[in-house]
Amino acid sequence: MARIVMKFGGTSVADTDRIRRVAGIVQRQQAAGHEVAVVVSAMAGETDRLVNFCREANPLYDPSEYDVVVSSGEQVTAGLLALTLHAMGCKARSWLGWQLPFRTDDAHSKARIDQIGTDAVLASMAAGEIAVIPGFQGISEENRVATLGRGGSDTSAVAVAAAVKADRCDIYTDVDGVYTTDPRIVSRARKLGRVTYEEMLELASVGSKVLQTRSVSLAMKEGVRVQVLSSFVDENSPSADDLPGTLIVSDAELGTGELQGSDMESQLITGIAADKNEAKITLTRLADKPGAVAAVFEPLAEANINVDMIIQNVAKDKGETDVTFTVPQSDLPRAIAMLEGKQEEIGFYRLISDDRVAKISVVGVGMRSHAGVAATMFSTLAERAINVLAISTSEIKVSVLINADETELAVRVLHTAYGLDGADQG
Ligand code: ADP
Ligand code: ASP
Ligand code: MG
């Protein structure tokens, strides 16, 4: 017997028919002898709809009331799943954020998890009841409903798995695992049997939205065994216990005999991700002297605007230089207003912005021991006349900024260049 936390995303619970299929998957895991807790998302599209209501009601909405509205989608699916399980003869009950309690801080709309009460839910699971928990929601220090940020149900599931010391956290979605790149963009993308926490963290943070970044860092910190797998399966497909999806593993586990020869080890690059949510800002003719760039980036940091890629051109005549950097697209208007407001103080000539850019990243632990990954990336893009606007790197990642129109082409040619292509699924 094992203790399993199962999480189902929006498309997996999109309507009552899909919820019935989910209930069938949950029932089978319990029938296999496991203690089961289930974390659910809102129905596909529901959170977007609720966010729009908030914007219509008041564009300058109060985040704590926004949380009251947007957390409701998960409450509906949790209740519906419990009802459906009852109809199938299973014992089940829902546990809302405030009932567990799922304690968070007061940062409404992007709350961080403090602690999860587990006594009641463990007792209920031990008594053979399926615990159904709405993802995304918790209760703040001031006892108000709080949400964890978009995509946050993945993080809820991992947090519950860590709190109840689950043997596994299965994240059910609409693809059957983590692929070398988004299989909806590249039909030759290959499913990975295993991927390390570190690589998954990089992939998620540079745009592979299959898992929320925070869920991966939490799983890594707490040592939660995570499997990504599909809920779009029939009764004859292999059990989740046979690990048919992608397992997120530690470096050490990747090196063990059981996993040797996995697709991960022989591969220099594990995956490629694209992110169209960044925007580029160039400030021209900035003074090339100590303190000039600090005058740009300090106020951005104070305004809580995350700067990602940065390039500073070689100084031209007159000791002046251009600086280019990227910020999240959603923060672009704020960043422009703030910088233009300080134009004289900072001392630049023009601000040029562009939100039609995309960041393409290649990720792989193999980069640590092999040279030439970046060179392959630049020459492959150059062969297709794709212009590189900015570059950034980490130990296991190289990212480039390109024109958004070239995203699909860039991902496809890089996928081929790094030898990642599998059989065409398209
Ligand atoms: P859920 O609603 O279940 O949380 P998401 O839409 O958040 O599902 O995440 C699943 C989607 O992630 C897939 O449909 C796929 O298009 C996308 N995706 C992006 N990159 C990858 C990748 N490397 N492997 C698998 N899926 C990916
Ligand atoms: N329903 C929330 C969202 O759409 C949380 C989630 O599904 O993970 O962002
Ligand atoms: Mg998701």
- Summarize pLDDT for 33-66 with one digit per residue, the tens: 999 999 999 999 999 999 999 999 998 889 999 9
What is the model's pLDDT at position 288?
A: 84
Question: How much is the average pLDDT of 361-373?
Answer: 90
What is the model's pLDDT at position 265?
A: 43
Alpha-carbon distance 45 to 110, whole Å? 19
Question: How far lies 419's CA from each of 202, 268, 356, 413, in Å?
Answer: 20, 9, 29, 10
Question: How much is the average pLDDT of 299-310?
Answer: 91
Judged against a pLDDT cut of 80, whether residue 314 lies above it is answered with no
Judged against a pLDDT cut of 80, whether residue 426 lies above it is answered with no
> In CATH, what class is 3-259?
alpha beta
Between the CA of 173 and the centroid of ligand 3 the distance, in Å, is 8
Asked whether the bond before 134 is cis by omega within 30 degrees of 0, the reply is: no
Q: Are strands 3-8 and 168-173 parallel, antiparallel or unpaired?
A: parallel
The length of the chain is 426
Alpha-carbon distance 157 to 165, whole Å? 12
Question: How much is the average pLDDT of 185-194?
Answer: 95
Q: Is 250 in the pocket of ligand 1 (CB under 6 A)?
A: no
Among protein residues, the one whose CA lies closest to atom 4 of ligand 2: 47
What is the model's pLDDT at position 170?
A: 98
Which ligand places an atom closest to the C-alpha of 190?
Answer: 1
Query: Backbone dihedral region of 372: left (phi > 0), alpha (psi from -120 to 50 degrees) or beta?
Result: left
| Ligand 2, atom nearest to 149 Cα | 9
Judged against a pLDDT cut of 90, whether residue 424 lies above it is answered with no
Tell me how crowded residue 370 is: count the other CB atoms within 10 A of its CB: 10
Question: How much is the average pLDDT of 212-235?
Answer: 96
Q: Output the CATH code of domain 271-417.
A: 3.30.2130.10
Judged against a pLDDT cut of 50, whether residue 262 lies above it is answered with no
Q: Which of 22, 47, 54, 172 to mutate to test the pocket of ligand 2 (most atoms within 8 A of CB)?
A: 47
Between the CA of 423 and the centroid of ligand 2 the distance, in Å, is 32
What is the model's pLDDT at position 368?
A: 87
DSSP H helices, 91-132, are 119-126
Beta-strand ranges (E) seen in 231-302 are 246-249, 271-275, 278-287
Which ligand places an atom closest to the C-alpha of 7?
Answer: 1
What is the model's pLDDT at position 97?
A: 97
Predicted confidence band at 1 (pLDDT cuts at 50, 70, 90)?
A: confident
User: Which residues touch 132 (CB under 8 Å, ≥6 apart)?
Assistant: 37, 38, 40, 78, 81, 82, 85, 92, 93, 94, 95
Between the CA of 237 and the centroid of ligand 2 the distance, in Å, is 27
Question: How much is the average pLDDT of 2-15?
Answer: 98
Beta-ladder partners of 191: 179
Mean per-residue pLDDT over the chain, rounded = 93
Alpha-carbon distance 116 to 287, whole Å? 51
Question: How much is the average pLDDT of 393-398?
Answer: 93
What is the model's pLDDT at position 266?
A: 53
Predicted confidence band at 317 (pLDDT cuts at 50, 70, 90)?
A: low
Judged against a pLDDT cut of 60, whether residue 257 lies above it is answered with no
What is the model's pLDDT at position 115?
A: 97
Query: Any idea where the domains of the chain sit in the sequence?
Result: 3-259, 271-417
What is the model's pLDDT at position 173?
A: 98
Between the CA of 273 and the centroid of ligand 2 the distance, in Å, is 20
Instruction: List the single range of 181-195, 253-267, 316-330, 398-412 with lowest mean pLDDT.
Output: 253-267
| Ligand 1, atom nearest to 174 Cα | 14
Q: Is 184 in the pocket of ligand 1 (CB under 6 A)?
A: yes
What is the model's pLDDT at position 256?
A: 57
Q: Which of 150, 154, 169, 215 to mutate to test the pocket of ligand 2 (most atoms within 8 A of CB)?
A: 150
Question: How much is the average pLDDT of 193-199?
Answer: 95
Residues within 5 Å of ion ligand 3, judged at the Cβ atom: 9, 151
Whether 3-259 shares its CATH topology with 271-417 is answered: no
- Summarize pLDDT for 116-151 with one digit per residue, the tens: 999 989 998 989 999 999 999 999 999 999 999 999
